[in-house]
Amino acid sequence: MIKKITSPATTEEILKLSAGDMVELSGILLTGRDAAHKRMVEYLYKGIPLPFDIKNQSIYYTGPCPAPPGRIIGSCGPTTSSRMDGYTPLLLDLGLKIMIGKGQRSPEVVEAIVRNQAVYLAAAGGAGALISGCIRSARQIAFPDLGCESIMELTVSDFPLICAIDSR
């Protein structure tokens, strides 16, 4: 059975997910990879507000390829999530609710997921072209100097995922 959730997700939706569940996610996601996470944490340590609200948000660990003619976005596959592990507990403590990527997470991230009633969803590696078909709109919202690693806001519909780490 596929569980359909909407982002931003409510805590109630997140608490219904269990590791191994198949999920279709629709709604708004932010993108962010290594450089964007580093910049976000630098801003926070310097007392500079983030240029977007992180509370209840979802972050997809991806650096989308430029859009070919007639497309909203290019290939948009997941990157290895563990590269964000050093930054993730702080973002979870600030209200981040959903992370999407591939691969394992550190014990510190798992602890922060449970503490904050969040969830880690896994996307299929190597399926960036397929995933891009779920994206209905894309716009850059922060850190344009980072190029493909800037933060974008994506609107997605029925993005296929698997719950890898649940809120428990």
Per-residue pLDDT of 28-66, as tens digits, reads 999 999 999 999 999 999 999 999 999 999 999 998 888
Is residue 28 a contact partner of residue 100, using CB atoms and an 8 Å limit? no
Whether 100 has a pLDDT exceeding 90, the answer reads yes
Q: What is the DSSP letter of 147?
A: G
Q: What is the DSSP letter of 49?
A: P
State the pLDDT confidence band at 116, using cuts at 50, 70 and 90: very high
Query: In whole numbers, what is the pLDDT of the chain averaged over residues?
Result: 95
Among 20-24, 97-101, 131-135, the minimum mean pLDDT is found in 131-135
User: Can you give the pLDDT at residue 68?
Assistant: 87
- Per the annotation, the verdict on 60 as an active-site residue is no
Tell me which of 37, 39, 102, 105 is the catalytic residue: 37
Is residue 103 a contact partner of residue 115, using CB atoms and an 8 Å limit? no
Among 9-18, 43-52, 70-79, 153-162, the minimum mean pLDDT is found in 70-79
Whether 8 has a pLDDT exceeding 90, the answer reads yes
Residue with tokens 């972050």: 59
Strand 98-101 vs strand 2-7: parallel, antiparallel, or unpaired?
Answer: unpaired
Whether 67 has a pLDDT exceeding 90, the answer reads no
Q: Using a pLDDT cut of 90, give the percent of the chain over it.
A: 84
User: Can you give the pLDDT at residue 20?
Assistant: 97
Per-residue pLDDT, averaged over 126-154, amounts to 92
Residue 88 and residue 149: Cα distance in Å, rounded? Answer: 17
